[in-house]
Amino acid sequence: MTVNDRSVSGDIDPRTLLVHFIRENLNLTGTHIGCETSYCGACTVMFDGRTVKSCTVLAVAADGATITTIEGLAKNGQLHAVQEGFWERHGLQCGFCTPGMIMAAVGLLEENNNPSEDEIRHGIEGNLCRCTGYHNIVKAIEYAGAKLRGEEPPPAEWEVSA
């Protein structure tokens, strides 16, 4: 398979989950394991251009696939617009859900770079965050959407109310 533009291979037990292959064989530990029961989305990666929960995909089933993990988003030292959005709008607290949340947001914005708040909330329904209450995550994705459309992101709430 190709992971973050790098061709990788391994001889593995068929029961190896994609998330374990990514973390343990490839040492890409940005992809997190939260619930391991397909609910929390912390393990979200791109599989042939669409988001999947890598704790619920066999690594052998990704033979020949193109995978992008959180480590593959920044290009030439430049953060991806979604990463920048999470930074600028404080879209995280403890950061545990963040890699998966960012991948889910990238998937959402690739399909629709101008989502409504409702569409954003639905777009991240497969990802749980136990810290933020989602508010700043939504703001971060709105920021990234604007960036991707080449527009000026809306001002941060704390700038408006100051």
Residues that bind other proteins (CB under 8 A): 13-17, 36-38, 41, 44, 47, 50-53, 55-58, 60-61, 63-64, 104, 107-108, 122-126
38 part of the interface to ligand FAD, by CB under 6 A: yes
134 binds ligand FAD (CB under 6 A): no
- Of 18, 132, 140, 144, the one binding ligand FES by CB under 6 A: 132
To ligand FES, the closest distance from the beta carbon of 3 in angstroms equals: 17
Burial 78-99, CB ≥16 within 10 A → b, else e: eebbbbbbbebbbbbeeebbbb
For other proteins, give the closer residue by CB, 124 or 144: 124
Closer residue to other proteins in complex, CB, 97/153: 97
Q: Is 61 in the site for ligand FAD (CB under 6 A)?
A: no
Question: CA–CA separation, 102 vs 98, rounded Å?
Answer: 6
Does 128 bind ligand FAD (CB under 6 A)? Our answer is no
Partner interacting with residue 34 (select from other proteins, ligand FES, ligand FAD, none; CB below 5-8 Å by kind): ligand FES
Least distance in angstroms from the C-beta of 84 to other proteins:
22
d(CA 121, CA 57): 24
Using a CB cutoff of 8 Å and minimum separation of 24, what contacts does 3-9 make?
Answer: 3/28, 3/67, 3/68, 3/69, 3/72, 4/28, 4/67, 4/68, 4/69, 4/71, 4/72, 5/72
CA angle 26, 30, 31 (to 5 degrees): 80
Chain residues in the site for ligand FAD (CB under 6 A):
38-39, 56
